[in-house]
Amino acid sequence: MAEKYFGKRQKRTEDPRLIQGLAHYVDDIKLPDTLHAVFLRSIYAHARIKSIDTSEAKKAPRVIAVYTGKDVSAKIGAVPCAAALPELKVPDHRVLATDKTYFVGHPVAVVVAEDRYAARDAADLIQVDYDELPVVMDEEKAAQGGPVVHEQFKTNIAYKLTAGEGDVEAALKSADKVIQQRILHRRLAPIAMEPRGVLARYYPGEQELTLWTSTQIPHLARTQIALMLGMAENKLRLIAPEVGGGFGSKLNVYGEEALLGWIAMQLNRPVKWIETRRENIQATIHGRGQTGYIEIGYKNDGTLTGLRYNVYADMGAYFQLLTPAIPTLTGLMLSGCYKIPAIQINITGVFTNKMATDAYRGAGRPEATYVVERALDLVAAEMGKDPVEVRRKNMPAPHEFPFKTATGLFYDSGNYEGALKKALDMANYTKLRDDQSKARKEGRLVGIGVSTYVEICAIGPSAATPAGGWESATVRIEPTGKVTILTGASPHGQGQETSFAQVAGDELGVNINDVTVIHGDTAIVQYGIGTFGSRGTAVGGTAVYYALQKLKEKANKLAAHMLGVENGPVDFKDGKFSKDGKSVTIQEVALTAYLGKNLPADMEPGLSAIHFFEPKNFTFPFGTHIAVVEIDRETGEVHFQRYVAVDDCGKVINPLLVDGQVQGGIVQSLGQALYEEIVYDEQGQLVSGTLMDYAVPRASHVPWLELDRTETPTDVNPMGVKGVGEAGTIGATPAIVAAVVDALSPFGIRHLDMPIKPETVWRIIGKKGAA
């Protein structure tokens, strides 16, 4: 019997090139005569551009061209925003600043030179005369009035939106107690290790433009950039080569991408731009950025009655692809994994003089989970109950699925209690609490944080997404029997070259080394959506699965014909079709399909199938994370003692990859909880503008992560897979914050805003009576 791949800890087929330095990220692609672009960016958060003098820069050695907003604004369309909301105020977002700059890092001019050193030198020679304008930094204050970012709107409020079901006012009134809490979700920088980069080449004969760009959404970017450039979409070939991480920051269409394409066409030479890390922190989207107010009502027995979340969402100065839509995802997930009869979110989207916010791993859902989990902890603290007890009280039982929330969702499947119990057992929760009481008696500050989460994955049904929520796949068996999969998903580290090959290996009975998964090139791959929202496997993989079924159907028919049993069924096992002791391999069937000499009368030659999979719902993975910390009471430093997580992402194709996704997500959460924060000062200067100040977690910051899973399949797709890419960033943050808060509960602390820095903790201990 052939090896079964589904469920196997299969090491990745993409790794040999990556571990030998043989992969090709954008900057690794070399074309002869390539020019290099360097951007000059605004040093002010808000300023009028009185004049730009590029004459010295243009005269500098090896410089080919310098462009400003005046040169390109009429020629290149606006940077797109795909989010459609009622009465949304959409600023005109040009690829280069025209009359004003709106944030530090706003591109003002671009220098194109024979090499990047010359381009960088010339950028220093551009003289920009600015008039500084009043800046708008705080989203909450900006919503109330004061200076405005965009004069034409006369307000900083980009939109207001109320969502949710049930009578929240009545629900909160019916509660025995209502708890209120202000809560901050700081701005974060995604920090994909590969910064953004673009290489553009124009072929004048074919009138075709090829763009290599570090993106998560090659096809959507192609459509949008073609529109920006006013060219036929099928004359633009967009290639996402090896992509060095995205985390949502490359789920976007950036002005630089279109501008580089335009420059390549202007100059008729290849042109490349590679973002520096400083630019990346200034001018690649930020995540999160919400100031919110929670109100949660509950009965004396702990039953939740209603939840309201009023939130000021920091948009930044402009919209990127999904900017205003992100807080609406927060609204969708506010029920968490609890029965809350009435839920309301009131979103105020606010312009500020900062870089745009947009999707960062989790995209609105970590915010929701954090809100709900903090709220549950506040209820538990107020009631003097164990946080686990309050959670259990309000969880739907397995038989209550599909479960309808007051945010309008149907949770497909779930066994929240099951994952919770498993995690509590792994952590030995009862003993942890006993040890904690003992430690407290010794004056030690030990804290235990529990988060039970649900997330919305496999995004998603087209009805619920701005631009198509399906995914596509082509599967073909080549004449020699090799299997090619073209996926519309665009993996950039998630490992679907391997997991899709595993699926094909099992379905076709072939060795995974005979399967090649191709993605990211719009000239090769049929239109697709891309990789984000934990959709790669659950939606993209499902498309592959269905395409395989279609292909097998045809192969089966042909095999029957070859075996002379036209009308009867044949068996298919381990890559062989057989009947009555005779058999043909799937490779033989493929060759026959291409030779075309021996086909059933009604059969087209060739052996390939395409499928566009439209999911009927999202999926809703869930789990429980438990963090145990001890605080150094002299310094306020937080030290992890344990970290336990049980995640349920349905069926698992490759546990190795799932572990990797969960671990990476938890560590990004850990960064958010304890270290990471984009800080602008009152003048709008970006204070945390390099990795010297913006603390991405390092190996030594991270405890050993004890992971396990439960497996509750979904019927949203036939493989029962749910998605796991964002689980860690959604489940872990509240657990870590809760653990620190719990450790400090002897000082009367019930909530702390992230990142929880040692000094904050020290001040609490110091002020509230250090022992």
Out of 74, 84, 117, 518, the residue judged to bind other proteins by CB under 8 A: 117
Is residue 253 exposed (0-12), middle (13-18) or buried (19+ Cβ within 10 Å)?
buried
Contacts with other proteins in 718-747 (CB under 8 A)?
728
Asked if 690 interacts with other proteins (CB under 8 A), we say yes
Instruction: Report in angstroms the alpha-carbon separations of 336 from 1, 252, 622, 623.
Output: 44, 27, 9, 11
Out of 278, 444, 550, 557, the residue judged to bind other proteins by CB under 8 A: 278
Which is closer to other proteins, CB of 591 or CB of 702?
702
Neighbour order of strands in the sheet with 571-573 = 571-573, 576-579, 582-585
Which residue do the tokens 């459609």 mark? 84
Per residue, the 3-state secondary structure of 162-230, as one string, reads: EECCCCHHHHHHHCCEEEEEEEEEEEECCCCCCCCEEEEEEECCCCEEEEEECCCCHHHHHHHHHHHHC
Asked if 418 interacts with other proteins (CB under 8 A), we say no
Report how many residues bind other proteins under the rule CB under 8 A. Answer: 80
Which is closer to other proteins, CB of 227 or CB of 695?
695
Out of 74, 518, 524, 687, the residue judged to bind other proteins by CB under 8 A: 687
Asked if 438 interacts with other proteins (CB under 8 A), we say no
Asked if 679 interacts with other proteins (CB under 8 A), we say yes
- Write each residue from 627 to 666 as x if it is in contact with other proteins (CB under 8 A), else as -, in one continuous string: -------xx-x------------------xx-xx--xxxx
Total residues found in the chain within this entry: 771
Q: Least CB distance from residue 68 to other proteins, whole Å?
A: 21
DSSP string, 409-443: -EE----HHHHHHHHHHHHTHHHHHHHHHHHHHTT
Handedness of CA 575, 579, 580, 585 (dihedral sign): negative
Out of 99, 124, 132, 580, the residue judged to bind other proteins by CB under 8 A: 124
Asked if 12 interacts with other proteins (CB under 8 A), we say yes
Contacts with other proteins in 30-89 (CB under 8 A)?
30
Contacts with other proteins in 184-203 (CB under 8 A)?
191-195
Rounded to whole angstroms, the Cα distance separating 378 from 65 reads 59
Contacts with other proteins in 543-562 (CB under 8 A)?
none
Out of 301, 700, 767, 771, the residue judged to bind other proteins by CB under 8 A: 700
Q: Least CB distance from residue 27 to other proteins, whole Å?
A: 7
Out of 27, 139, 412, 742, the residue judged to bind other proteins by CB under 8 A: 27
Q: Least CB distance from residue 477 to other proteins, whole Å?
A: 28
Contacts with other proteins in 287-346 (CB under 8 A)?
none
Pair of tokens at residue 244: 């060095």
Q: Least CB distance from residue 660 to other proteins, whole Å?
A: 5
Asked if 694 interacts with other proteins (CB under 8 A), we say yes
Which is closer to other proteins, CB of 501 or CB of 547?
501
Asked if 177 interacts with other proteins (CB under 8 A), we say no
Which is closer to other proteins, CB of 402 or CB of 758?
758
Residues 6+ positions from 170 with CB-CB distance below 8 Å: 306, 342
Asked if 7 interacts with other proteins (CB under 8 A), we say no
* Interface region with other proteins, contact rule CB under 8 A, candidates 176-184, 564-572, 645-653, 694-702: 694-702
361 contacts 661 by C-beta, under 8 angstroms = no
Instruction: Report in angstroms the alpha-carbon separations of 382 from 180, 342, 347, 750.
Output: 11, 21, 27, 9
* Interface region with other proteins, contact rule CB under 8 A, candidates 24-32, 85-93, 404-412, 596-604: 24-32
* Interface region with other proteins, contact rule CB under 8 A, candidates 139-147, 239-247, 303-311, 387-395: 239-247
Pair of tokens at residue 311: 């939130």
Q: Least CB distance from residue 673 to other proteins, whole Å?
A: 12
* Interface region with other proteins, contact rule CB under 8 A, candidates 178-186, 319-327, 504-512, 702-710: 702-710
Q: Least CB distance from residue 757 to other proteins, whole Å?
A: 7
Kind plus residue range of the DSSP H or E element containing 626:
strand 622-631
Q: What is the residue type of 548?
A: L
Out of 113, 311, 363, 667, the residue judged to bind other proteins by CB under 8 A: 667
Which is closer to other proteins, CB of 90 or CB of 662?
662
Out of 688, 713, 718, 745, the residue judged to bind other proteins by CB under 8 A: 688
Q: Least CB distance from residue 634 to other proteins, whole Å?
A: 5
Q: Least CB distance from residue 354 to other proteins, whole Å?
A: 16
Which is closer to other proteins, CB of 655 or CB of 713?
655
Instruction: Report in angstroms the alpha-carbon separations of 355 from 89, 582, 659, 682.
Output: 17, 66, 33, 15
Which is closer to other proteins, CB of 551 or CB of 761?
761
Side-chain half-sphere of 209: how many Cα atoms within 13 Å? 28
Which is closer to other proteins, CB of 116 or CB of 552?
116
* Interface region with other proteins, contact rule CB under 8 A, candidates 323-331, 571-579, 597-605, 751-759: 751-759
Nearest to 470 by CA among 522, 527, 516: 527
Which is closer to other proteins, CB of 280 or CB of 413?
280
| Cis peptide leading into residue 766 (ω within 30°) | no
Rounded to whole angstroms, the Cα distance separating 31 from 236 reads 18
Nearest to 741 by CA among 673, 683, 691, 684: 673
270 contacts 156 by C-beta, under 8 angstroms = no
Q: Least CB distance from residue 637 to other proteins, whole Å?
A: 8
Q: How far apart are the first and last CA of the chain?
A: 67
Which residue do the tokens 């070259």 mark? 497
* Interface region with other proteins, contact rule CB under 8 A, candidates 8-16, 44-52, 533-541, 566-574: 8-16
Q: Least CB distance from residue 763 to other proteins, whole Å?
A: 8
13 contacts 519 by C-beta, under 8 angstroms = no
Q: Least CB distance from residue 14 to other proteins, whole Å?
A: 8
Out of 80, 244, 520, 533, the residue judged to bind other proteins by CB under 8 A: 244
Contacts with other proteins in 485-524 (CB under 8 A)?
492-495
Rounded to whole angstroms, the Cα distance separating 550 from 607 reads 10
Cα angle at 232 between 229 and 234, to 5 degrees?
Answer: 120
Asked if 242 interacts with other proteins (CB under 8 A), we say yes
Rounded to whole angstroms, the Cα distance separating 357 from 363 reads 10
653 contacts 499 by C-beta, under 8 angstroms = yes
Asked if 354 interacts with other proteins (CB under 8 A), we say no
Contacts with other proteins in 256-275 (CB under 8 A)?
274
Which is closer to other proteins, CB of 52 or CB of 192?
192
Asked if 770 interacts with other proteins (CB under 8 A), we say no
Residues 6+ positions from 322 with CB-CB distance below 8 Å: 81, 82, 83, 251, 252, 358, 359, 363, 466
Which is closer to other proteins, CB of 316 or CB of 697?
697
Out of 6, 7, 8, 23, the residue judged to bind other proteins by CB under 8 A: 23
739 contacts 628 by C-beta, under 8 angstroms = yes
